[in-house]
A and B are shown apart, each in its own frame.
Chain A
Amino acid sequence: MIYSDKVMDHFQNPRNVGVIKDADGTGQVGNPVCGDMMTFYIKVKDNRLEDIKFQTFGCGAAIAVSSIVSEMAMGKTLDEAMKITNELVAEELGGLPKNKLHCSNLGADALHAAIEDYRKKQAAMSEEAPAAEAAKCYCPYCDGPLDNLLGACTSCHVELEECPHCGNLTKKGEEKCAKCGGELETA
């Protein structure tokens, strides 16, 4: 099996699947082009996550990640929940295959987007606040969100291109692909 027992457990018996109709905040990240899409719904009481539900379109890892993120965040204060990182999620699941690590980014991001949505709504009641941007795909260098699949990473500004051998994104101008080591055409 390509996944750990814990991943398979959360994939088979995901916790907190569903929709909260009157959610205080919702966060949606990803799109079917990069493979996965997640929506998180939260209920907040006294600055704590009173309830969390999610829906996920994606592979086993994406479903397991959503489930564990909901479990890790349940009952936490908003600040505590914002500190749940991709690394912590992957660690909690007993590791993920290398090419599935980006799924763990999506889980924490969807939760954070829901919290930001909640905070934005709170702020809007008093004053205007900046909108929370939902992330799409991820840069292989800084793990920052990518708006476009090609071109420069919006976070670390590395110029990216698709490796002709393995199809992963890699740095433009390099001699070898960072993922598969295949030779790249240099201009």
Chain B
Amino acid sequence: MRKVYLDHIAATPLDPEVLAAMLPFLRERFGNPQSLHSVGQDALVAIEEGRSKVARLIGAEGSEIHFTASGSEANNFALKGMAMARREKGNHLVLSAIEHQSVLHAAKSLERSGFSSTLVGVDRSGLVDPDEVRKAIRKETVLVSVILASSEVGTIEPVAEVARICREAGVPFHTDAVAAAGNIPVDVRELGVDALSLAADQFYGPKGTGALYVRKGVRILPLIDGGIQEGGRRAGTENVAGIVGMGKAAEIAAARLAERQERMKALRDRLIDRLPQKVDRVYLTGHRERRLPHHASFCVEFIEGEAMLLNLDMKGIAVSSGSACTSRALKASHVLLAMGIDHALAQGSLVFSLVDSTTAEDIDYLLEVIPPIIDRLRKMSPLYTKFLQEKKT
């Protein structure tokens, strides 16, 4: 059976070059970067090289990169570390309503320590209005966080504009760039952000490796106390192989970014244009133009996402869904609901995210396989029966 992997947002395949770069550090070059002997110093040189490469991907200095164990940790570190560092200045946060759970829940956690937060809504295409952010900022606001691009609907946010507003207001600004970094051009100076999260598994690097950029001079308190690793800001023996892998993946992503983007965009548009031609009542979610090059997300009316996901899986196609039934918490995607999509339609969520190896044939295979699946599930659906009856009358 043909295997088509369209779940980039969950994980990307490890680039073989990245694996090759990592392997020595899982074998003979096992030293601890904090050891003063040559075995340790060898590992130290390797992680510092990795740091420089990750810094180059986003236009930062090596000293501004702090490695973490995931994008979620980077987001928690930014939210909690920056808010707590400015606690005497205020206790208010501004976030977009479509932030990743690791941002929203970190803010909830801060609320238990006396902080409060304002969620800024989005429009039907998932865009944050920078002016709404401006209005939400108060004199007690100590941090603003707006996602660079949503992994659920692909919309790229006007982060540079939000950053400018925050700078004018004198409030530090963080952006969660986990879905974006390595896939679209991201430059921290051009964006004007104070902190930015990224994760290697979104650009063909290993899982369990993320990073937080913190602009030089911005205060942040550690989440993990202990040794002096990561400039004393994140204790714990470094994930040497992971950091080397993230560095290599960043180097490759920077070199191939333009070519990859163009190719993915063409394939993405093929899917976005053709799926609604093949099946009626299928709606694109997120912004049509301002979206990640590898991302095509839809809501299919009258049926539920998990049922489609399982059927596609049996045809060798791996995808995601933001339906309530797909989530362990049995709640529909907060991103879709924030965009004003109703519960029933949000249940029909499907997210296709392309990887580097995706071909036009893969997209065509999906387009061939999915209409009968949707048709079969609709024939089973009481909502579709009701719709057909109402259409008749």
Using a CB–CB cutoff of 8 Å, the interface residues on chain A facing chain B are: 8, 11-12, 14, 17, 19, 28, 32-39, 55-63, 99-100, 102, 164-168, 183, 185
Q: Which of B283-331 contact A (CB under 8 A)?
A: 302-307, 310, 314, 323-331
Asked if A63 contacts B307 (CB within 8 A), the reply is yes
Q: Tell me the bound Cα distance from A38 to B306 in angstroms.
A: 16
Contact with A along B353-393 (1 / 0, CB 8 A): 00000000000000000000000000111110100000000
Q: Tell me the bound Cα distance from A61 to B306 in angstroms.
A: 9
Interchain residue pairs with CB less than 8 A apart (17):
A14-B380, A17-B380, A32-B343, A33-B343, A35-B304, A37-B382, A39-B382, A57-B302, A59-B323, A59-B325, A63-B307, A99-B328, A99-B329, A99-B330, A165-B108, A167-B330, A168-B330
Q: Tell me the bound Cα distance from A63 to B328 in angstroms.
A: 18
Which of the four size classes fits the interface of chain B?
Answer: 20 to 34
Minimum CB–CB distance for A23 against chain B, Å: 13
A-B contact count (CB 8 A): 81
Q: Tell me the bound Cα distance from A19 to B332 in angstroms.
A: 28
**Residues of A with C-beta under 8 A to B331:** 167
Cβ contact of B105, chosen from A12, A61, A165, A185, cutoff 8 A: A165
Beyond known contacts A56-B380, A57-B303, A59-B326: 12 more, CB 8 A cutoff? A32-B344, A32-B347, A35-B324, A35-B325, A35-B347, A36-B304, A55-B380, A57-B302, A57-B347, A60-B306, A99-B330, A167-B330
Q: Tell me the bound Cα distance from A12 to B379 in angstroms.
A: 13
Cβ contact of B385, chosen from A33, A38, A55, cutoff 8 A: A55
Asked if B304 contacts A59 (CB within 8 A), the reply is yes
Counting CB contacts under 8 A, is B112 at the interface? yes
**Residues of A with C-beta under 8 A to B304:** 35-36, 57-59, 62
Chain B residue with Cβ nearest A100: B325
**Residues of B with C-beta under 8 A to A168:** 329-330
| Most A-side CB within 10 Å, residue of B327, B347, B385 | B347
Asked if B383 contacts A58 (CB within 8 A), the reply is no
Q: A32-B343, A58-B325 are in contact. Are A37 and B383 (CB under 8 A)?
A: yes
Chain B residue with Cβ nearest A37: B382
Chain B residue with Cβ nearest A7: B310
**Residues of B with C-beta under 8 A to A183:** 112
**Residues of A with C-beta under 8 A to B382:** 28, 37-39, 55-57
Q: Which 6 A-B pairs have the closest CB atoms?
A: A59-B325, A32-B344, A167-B329, A59-B306, A55-B382, A35-B324
